[in-house]
């Protein structure tokens, strides 16, 4: 059950993050994912990351992060022989994923109607910044561009720092997750075969549910609230004696228990804090009042005490702190591989955010070197060694 997509072949014609991240989910769920990369250079992510030596070797950290378990072939899609090989691969595939700018696959003669004629049951998923049509269809799309265009940056930060970019590539990854969800659903359809148009812009907007709903239904202008939860108080980030602490005392009974545990029963009777709306209207004064007591202990101590009482709390951690936590270590979240081809060290990467029947889906092979699986894949189509050598000399492979 940890490989529900076993037997599914996915052609991954994607670059950098949104598309590779979508296929990262699929390969962890058991699909065979074949990266079809540009001859000589491959996925642009092969040259991206914080380690220049790995970038030079074509195994950049940005590539290593979401390509474990996949196979790699290289193909010149501008050469008729390269297109013919892709057509042959499509006949064997269940899914094709691409994240070229809209119109590129049409110009290459590899559009959905063409591929559908070859394989009617093909699930074709196109991931783009703004979708396959509309006035913005021709705009270039990178994560930060989408963050800005979606309004997400306008509500990130506070009144003095917004608009602010979210610290991780959330538009790319949400777009990738949307694509993986849609592909998984399409694989369940009978008969199979469809064209999926994933817009990163719309994927991000779909995750901003309450912000959009409060505007669309309630007429509320979206605002940057920093670390404060605009729906309740006290609900936000508080300074302690050591470190920051998130508290979400959203229920009245949690508010009462918090005051009692902090020895601040006086706040319960204060006219500014009697109701949820009162507390929301006076949240900044309330935070200051609570912090006078919270500063007497560390965030980790308060986290343990408050959670034990049923008051949702959590210390604000750094990325290294959460990766090194006992909890994450116990959840088998990370994957380790000995030195992949082109990499001078063992690597550790993330898997996926789920377990199936208590087991984490994992892959068996590290991220592939460019073209590492050509003998297997092209050999499976009947190409012999002499043919492969000729195609390599001609720049087709």
Which of the listed residues 293, 316, 339 is the one where a domain comes to its end? 316
Of the three residues 281, 316, 351, the one that is the final residue of a domain is: 316
Q: Are residues 163 and 37 in the same domain?
A: yes
Clarify whether residues 189 and 247 are in a common domain: no
Q: Answer yes or no: do 194 and 295 share one domain.
A: no
pLDDT of 351: 95
Q: CA-to-CA distance for 361 and 64, rounded, in angstroms?
A: 18
Report how far residue 72's alpha carbon sits from residue 366's, in angstroms, rounded to the nearest whole number: 11
pLDDT (0 to 100) of residue 2: 82
The answer to whether position 306 is within a domain reads yes
Residue 212 lies in a domain: no
Distances (CA, A) of 225 to 149, 201, 288: 19, 22, 16
Consecutive H or E run containing 141: none
pLDDT digits (tens, 9 = 90+) for 56-102: 999 999 999 999 999 999 999 999 999 999 999 999 999 999 999 99
For 4-51, write each residue's pLDDT tens digit.
999 999 999 999 999 999 999 999 999 999 999 999 999 999 999 999
Pick 339 or 172 by higher pLDDT. 172
Same domain, 262 and 368: no
Q: From CA 210, how far away is CA 187, in angstroms rounded?
A: 30
* Digit-coded pLDDT (tens) for 122-134: 999 999 999 999 9
Whether the Cβ atoms of residue 1 and residue 26 lie closer than 8 Å to each other: no
Residues 241 and 378 in one domain: no
CA dihedral 312, 313, 318, 320 (to 10 degrees): -70
pLDDT digits (tens, 9 = 90+) for 357-378: 999 999 999 999 999 999 999 9
Task: Name residues whose C-beta falls within 8 Å of residue 318's C-beta, 6 or more positions apart in sequence.
Answer: none
Nearest partner of 183 among 99, 105, 97, 92, judged by Cα: 97
Q: At what angle do helices 252-262 and 299-308 cross, to 10 degrees?
A: 130
Q: Is residue 222 part of a domain?
A: no
The residue written with tokens 């409060």 in the block is: 214
Residue 159: burial class (beta carbons within 10 Å; 0-12, 13-18, 19+): exposed
- In the set 43, 94, 143, 172, the catalytic residue is 172
Asked if residue 268 and residue 139 are part of one domain, the reply reads: no
Q: What is the DSSP letter of 140?
A: -
Distance CA 17, CA 111 (A): 22
Q: How confident is the model at residue 317 (pLDDT cuts 50, 70, 90)?
A: very high
Nearest-angstrom CA–CA distance, 60 and 214: 42
pLDDT value for 212: 95
Return mean pLDDT, the chain.
96
Quote the pLDDT of residue 53.
94
Q: Are residues 339 and 193 located together in one domain of the fold? A: yes
Note if the bond before 357 is cis, omega within 30 degrees.
Answer: no
The pLDDT assigned to 329 comes to 93
Q: Is residue 27 part of a domain?
A: yes
Kindly state whether residue 30 falls inside one of the protein's structural domains. yes
- In angstroms, the CA 87 to CA 295 distance is 65
168 CB-near residues (< 8 Å, 6+ apart) = none
DSSP reduced 3-state for 28: helix
| Same domain, residue pair 148 and 194 | yes
Domain that holds residue 376: 9-207+330-393
Question: Given this model, what pLDDT does residue 178 score?
Answer: 98
Q: How far is CA 287 from the centre of its chain?
A: 33
Same domain, yes or no, for 78 and 122? yes
Cβ-in-10-Å burial (0-12, 13-18, 19+) of 8 comes to: buried
In a domain, 139, yes or no: yes
How large is the average pLDDT for residues 158-179? 96
Burial of 310 (0-12, 13-18, 19+ CB in 10 A): exposed
Tokens read off for 207: 């995750």
Tell which of 294, 316, 338 closes a domain. Answer: 316
Shared-domain flag, residues 264 and 240: yes
Q: Does residue 230 lie in a domain region?
A: no
Closest CA relative to residue 32, chosen from 364, 369, 378, 383: 364
Strands 32-37 and 9-13 come out as: parallel
**Domain CATH code at residue 269:** 3.30.1540.10
Would you state the pLDDT for residue 342?
Answer: 87
Tokens of 52: 């220049």
pTM of the model: 0.93
Asked whether the beta carbons of 11 and 97 are under 8 A apart, the reply is yes
- Tens-digit pLDDT profile for residues 265-288: 999 999 999 999 999 999 999 999
First to last CA, the chain: 36
Number of domains in the chain: 2
The DSSP H or E segment spanning 345 is none
pLDDT of 1 over the 90 cut: no
The first and second tokens of residue 198, run together, are: 């994933």
d(CA 274, CA 286): 12
Residue labelled with tokens 């490989």:
3
Q: Residue 54 above 90 pLDDT?
A: yes
Summarize pLDDT for 199-238 with one digit per residue, the tens.
999 999 999 989 999 999 999 999 999 999 998 999 999 9
- Is 300 among the domain residues? yes
Report the pLDDT averaged over residues 93-122: 97
Rounded Cα gap, residues 371 and 380, in angstroms:
15
User: Active-site residue 79, yes or no?
Assistant: no
Question: Do 54 and 160 lie in a common domain?
Answer: yes
38 and 64 together in one domain: yes
CA distances from 33 to 30, 332, 348 (A): 9, 23, 20
User: 250 and 305 in contact (C-beta within 8 Å)?
Assistant: no
Cα–Cα distance for residue pair 347/368, rounded to 1 Å: 13
How long a stretch of residues is the chain? 397
- Residue 118 sits in a domain whose CATH number is 3.40.50.10540
């Amino acid at each position: 059950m940890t490989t529900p997509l076993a037997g599914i072949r996915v052609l991954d014609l994607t670059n950098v993050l949104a598309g590779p991240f979508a296929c990262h989910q699929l390969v962890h769920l058991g699909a065979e994912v074949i990266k079809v990369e540009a001859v000589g250079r491959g996925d642009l992510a092969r040259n991206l990351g914080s380690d220049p030596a790995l970038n030079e070797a074509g195994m950049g950290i940005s590539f290593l992060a979401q390509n474990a378990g996949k196979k790699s072939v290289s193909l010149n899609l501008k050469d008729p022989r390269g297109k013919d090989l892709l057509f042959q691969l499509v006949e064997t595939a269940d899914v094709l994923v691409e994240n070229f700018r809209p119109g590129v696959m049409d110009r290459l003669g590899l559009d959905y109607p063409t591929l559908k004629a070859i394989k009617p049951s093909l699930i074709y998923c196109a991931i783009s910044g703004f979708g396959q049509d509309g006035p913005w269809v021709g705009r270039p799309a990178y994560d930060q561009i989408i963050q800005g265009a979606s309004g997400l940056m306008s509500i990130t930060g506070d009144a003095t720092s917004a608009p602010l970019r979210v610290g991780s590539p959330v538009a790319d990854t949400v777009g990738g997750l949307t694509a993986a969800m849609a592909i998984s659903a399409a694989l369940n359809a009978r008969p199979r075969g469809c064209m999926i148009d994933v817009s990163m812009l719309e994927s991000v907007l779909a995750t901003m549910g309450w912000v959009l709903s409060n505007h669309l239904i309630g007429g509320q202008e979206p605002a940057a609230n920093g670390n404060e939860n605009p729906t309740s108080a006290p609900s936000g980030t508080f300074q302690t004696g050591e470190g920051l602490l998130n508290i979400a005392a959203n229920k009245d009974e949690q508010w009462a228990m918090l005051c009692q545990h902090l020895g601040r029963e006086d706040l319960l009777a204060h006219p500014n804090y009697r109701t949820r709306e009162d507390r929301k209207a006076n949240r900044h004064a309330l935070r200051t009042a609570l912090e006078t007591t919270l500063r007497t202990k560390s965030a980790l101590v308060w986290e343990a005490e408050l959670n034990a009482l049923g008051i949702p709390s959590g210390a604000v951690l750094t990325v290294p702190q959460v990766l090194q936590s006992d909890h994450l270590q116990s959840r088998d979240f990370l994957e380790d591989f000995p030195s992949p081809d082109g990499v001078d060290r063992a690597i550790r990467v993330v898997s996926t955010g789920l377990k199936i029947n208590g087991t984490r889906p994992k892959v068996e092979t590290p991220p592939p070197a460019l073209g590492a699986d050509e003998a297997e894949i092209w050999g499976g189509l009947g190409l012999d060694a002499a043919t492969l050598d000729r195609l390599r000399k001609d720049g087709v492979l």
